Amino acid sequence: MKKLIVIFSILFSVNAVFGQSLKSVKLDSLVNVSLPSSYTKKDTLGQQVYTANSDLGYMIAIRQANEKGNQPLQKENDLNAVLKKYIDGIQSQSGNGSAQNIRDTTIGTLKAKAFTLFQNDPNGESQYRNFILLYTQDATYTFEYGYGDSRK
């Protein structure tokens, strides 16, 4: 019986040591995101970038302030056009990346776009970057989770 208790205590302690703890990070008064507790924050020219590494990949959350006097979008097509422009910009910055599985989603009551950017790196390993784009009148939020082909 003592051996069984010792085995279970070892198993539970290993889980506690290797478990990834997440911390809720407030990007602004509207949006919170959960990141590993060892995240870093950079704030430059109205853009806040939060980065963190996890056991299986990396995470990035970006809050970019929109232009002053930004007019509210009137129709869903306007929102789709803005988000398509962001997706095209991300894809062009990646070089040989291709945006795949572009779809609409909701976060709470807000509409967002989700997609995967697939990229081959020079070493021959494929890189996947999952994105969620969230647009409000005041700011645009980009959430990214990247991982290698070996983690898929």
Asked if residue 15 has pLDDT above 60, the reply is no
Distance (Å, rounded) from C-alpha 144 to C-alpha 60?
Answer: 5
Q: Tell me the whole-structure pTM to 2 decimals.
A: 0.79
- pLDDT value at position 2? 46
The four Cα atoms 98, 102, 105, 110 give a dihedral, to 10 degrees, of 70
Q: pLDDT tens digit string along 35-67?
A: 888 899 999 887 999 999 988 889 999 998 888
Q: Where does the pLDDT of residue 11 fall: very low under 50, low under 70, confident under 90, or very high at 90 and above?
A: very low
Asked if residue 13 has pLDDT above 50, the reply is no
- pLDDT value at position 16? 47
Residue 112 falls in which region: left (phi positive, over 0), alpha (psi -120 to 50) or beta: beta
> Which of 60, 76, 65, 79 lies closest to 117, judged by CA?
60
Distance (Å, rounded) from C-alpha 20 to C-alpha 27?
Answer: 21
> Would you say 99 and 90 are in contact if contact means Cβ atoms under 8 Å apart?
yes
Alpha helices for the chain (secondary structure H): 2-18, 76-93
Q: pLDDT tens digit string along 95-141?
A: 888 888 888 888 888 888 898 888 887 777 788 889 898 888 888 89
